[in-house]
Structure 1
C-alpha cells in the first residue's frame, strides 16, 4: 500500500511534458579515477537530473579515461564520443584564450567562492569560445603548488629544470623562468616523474596522493600558486535533440550552484591533502618568505601580457574581459 502511494506521489511530480518524453541515455566521461571525489559528486548530479526529468534522462558516468584520453575530452563532447565531458581547457594551449585568465598564477585564492565568480564571469564568453559544444558550467580545484625532487624557492631556481605543468599558462611560466615543459596528463604524471622525464610538477595537494605522485616527490612549496579551470561540456546534437522540458532540466543543473555542489567536496579533499602531507615522513612542506613570494608575483607579470595578446588575437577585448574578471573576484571575495 505504501509503495503504491509513493508511486502515485512520484508520478504526480512529473510534468505532463516530461511524462510524454522519450528516454535519453547519456554518457558522461571523466578522465579521473573512480576514487576521485569528483566522481561521486558527478554521479549525484546525474541522479538528480534523472529524478528531475521523471526518469527520461538517464546518465552513466565513465571515469578513468574509459572513453578517451584526458587531452581529448573537449573534442569528445564536440564529436559525440560522449554526451557530457570533463574538460581541462588549459590542456590545449591557445584554443581557449579567455578562460585561460583563470589559469594564470595568483588569481584565485578560494575555490568555493571562486566557482561562483568564475561562472558569473565566464558564462557569456563560453557561448562563443566553446560554441561547438553546449557549455554547462565551470569550476576549479583548490590552489595547487609546485612539488618535486628539488627545493624551489625562487623563479630562477627553475632554470634548466624539467617541469610537468598543470596547464598551458603554467607551462608558459616554466619557459619564462628557463625551465623545460614535460607534457603529461594527470594520469600520466607519476610515470613521467618516476622515469626522470620530469623533475617537478604543479599539482593540487590531495590529488598528489590519489595519483601516487607523493611516492616520487619530496618537496612541496606551500603557496597558492595557481588554480586550473575545468568545464562540463555537452554535445550540441544531444542537447538540441532534447524536448523543451528536458532542456529545462539540463539548464537547471548547469548553474553556478550545481558547479559548487560538484566542486566543493573536491576542494575539501585537496585542502585535507595539504594537511596530510605536512605530517608525512619524508616530505617537506615549506613556506616562502614575503620577499620570495614577492619575487614570484613580480616575475609572472609577463604572463598576463601574453594572455592579453592571445585574447586580442582571437578578437576579444582583454581590458574589458580582465576588468569583468576582477569585478567578479571582488564581488565574491575569491581573489588573492
Structure 2
C-alpha cells in the first residue's frame, strides 16, 4: 500500500514538474453531437497551443442534467462545459436577444455576431456572473419537426403537442396559443417515440443527432423560427489558478474563436442532416408561407418590447438599438 502511495505521489510530482494542468470537461449531449465534437476540438486546440501544458479529461457522463450545468461549473463539479440559457427560464435576460425569430440561416454568422454584441454590451453588466465565460454561440435556425402532418399555419401547430427548449420560443409559443412543454433536447427521442409529444422544435442537425427517424414532416422559416443561446463556460477558480502563460492560451481560444468553432460545426451538421438523412428517410419539407411568417412576426413584436423593458430594467441602455445592431452585425458576418 505504501509503495502504491509513493508511486502515485511520484506520478503527480512528474506532472507538476512539467506544469501540466488537467481540466475536467463535461457534456450533457451525446459525444457524437456537434456541440460535444466542437468541445472536443477546443480541447485538442488547447493542448496543442499549450504544448501539452493544458489537457482535458472529458468525462464519460455529464456531471449534471442540462438545466443544472451552469451551477455545476460555477461550483467546481466540472471545470468546463456549455449550457442553454433558456433551460433556466428568466435567469438570463440579455441572452434572449439571440433567440428571436428570423435572425439568419447560419449558426456561424449568428454566433459570431452574438459574441461581438455580448462582449460589447452584456459582459459589463455581468450576464453570466459566477463563471468564466469562454464564449457564446447559437445553434442553427430552429425548425418544426413532427410525426403527424404538414405544418403550414399557426393553427396547424396549435393542433399538436410539441417539446420546446425554453427562452424566447417558450414566450412566443404562449403568445401563439401553442401546446408546448419545456424539456431538454435530449428528451426528444423518448417523447416522440412514445407519442407523448407529436413533435419538437429543434435545428435540422437534431434529426441525425437524436435519431428522430419517427419524424415525417419539417417546416422551415426564413432565418429560422428561433435560436437557442448557448454559453461555453469555465470554473472561475480553475482559471484563476492557471499560470499567466496558460491563461493566455485559454484567452486566445475564447470569444470569437469559440463562436466560429461551434457555429461552423452546427452549420455543417445541419446541412448533412437536411440534405442527407432527412431526404433519404423521406421527411416531407414545408417552407413557411409569408402569411405564416407574418403571424409569427406580429406576436414577436410584442415580445421584443417586453424583452427591451426587462433588459432596460437590468441596466442595458437602449435595448432596441442593441437589437438593431445585432441584426446588422449578422449581415456583416455573412
- Give the TM interval when normalised to the shorter protein: 0.7 to 0.9
The 8 Å contact of residues 108 and 227 in structure 1, kept in 2 or not, is answered as no
* Structure 1 segment 126-141 matched on structure 2, within 5 A: 126=123, 128-141=126-139
> Does residue 46 in structure 1 map to residue 43 in structure 2?
yes
Name the stretch that deviates more: 279-288 or 98-107.
279-288
Distance 1:28 1:325, change over 3 A: farther
Partner-residue secondary structure (3-state), 1:54: coil
Partner-residue secondary structure (3-state), 2:133: strand
The 8 Å contact of residues 82 and 231 in structure 2, kept in 1 or not, is answered as yes
Report the TM-score, using the length of structure 1 for normalisation. Answer: 0.85
Indicate the residue corresponding to 1:185 in structure 2: 184
The equivalent position to 1:56 in structure 2, one of 46, 50, 53, is 53
TM-fit CA distance, 1:57: 1.4
The 8 Å contact of residues 121 and 325 in structure 1, kept in 2 or not, is answered as no
The equivalent position to 2:328 in structure 1, one of 315, 326, 330, is 330
Distance 1:326 1:60, change over 3 A: farther
Indicate the residue corresponding to 1:100 in structure 2: 96
Task: Please give the per-residue CA displacement for 1:15-58, whole angstroms capped at 9, x wherever unaligned.
Answer: xxxx9773221111111112223333322221221222232211
TM-fit CA distance, 1:76: 1.1
Indicate the residue corresponding to 2:8 in structure 1: none
> Does residue 24 in structure 1 map to residue 21 in structure 2?
yes
The 8 Å contact of residues 162 and 180 in structure 1, kept in 2 or not, is answered as yes
TM-fit CA distance, 1:77: 1.0
Indicate the residue corresponding to 2:78 in structure 1: 82
Partner-residue secondary structure (3-state), 1:301: helix
Measured in 2, the distance between the counterparts of 1:174 and 1:280 equals 30
The 8 Å contact of residues 84 and 228 in structure 2, kept in 1 or not, is answered as yes
TM-fit CA distance, 1:241: 1.1
Indicate the residue corresponding to 1:269 in structure 2: 269
Indicate the residue corresponding to 2:163 in structure 1: 164
Unaligned runs of 5+ in 1: 1-18
Indicate the residue corresponding to 1:197 in structure 2: 196
TM-fit CA distance, 1:185: 1.0
Distance 1:326 1:21, change over 3 A: farther
Indicate the residue corresponding to 1:11 in structure 2: none
Partner-residue secondary structure (3-state), 1:213: coil
Measured in 2, the distance between the counterparts of 1:171 and 1:233 equals 24
Indicate the residue corresponding to 1:310 in structure 2: 310
TM-fit CA distance, 1:180: 2.8
> Does residue 151 in structure 1 map to residue 150 in structure 2?
yes
Task: Please give the per-residue CA displacement for 1:182-218, whole angstroms capped at 9, x wherever unaligned.
Answer: 1221111111122232222101112222202232x22
Measured in 1, the distance between the counterparts of 2:169 and 2:64 equals 24
